[in-house]
Structure 1
Amino acid sequence: MLSPNDFEDLAAVERRLLAFEERYDATAAPFKWRHTTTNLHPHLERLDHHDRTLQAA
């Protein structure tokens, strides 16, 4: 998480974001998505149940 104190000014924020973009563009690679909405749904339900359990505690 970033806070306003992490950068000296907006120009520094811009430089950091542009540097990230360049690095990401240079290293990003496509991946083969193996889930469909059908087989992803049980995983999402499990996560939702887990979140509700934590909130109830």
Structure 2
Amino acid sequence: MIENNQGSITSDDNVCIRSRCHFTMTVITFYLCAIVLRKHDNYRKDTRRIRPAYMQN
């Protein structure tokens, strides 16, 4: 009975660790996507600034 209880506790800890890892991975991927989208928006703004200069030349 004691061994079974310890086994259940360790399995619950593993589940908690897996859920935490999954949560952190989703948060990290979300931040990375946000950073990439911000850089992409900045790139679009730069291209908009550059295009009128080329049109003037």
Q: TM-score, normalised by structure 2?
A: 0.35
Higher relative contact order (CA 8 A, sep 6+): 1
Q: TM-score, normalised by structure 1?
A: 0.35
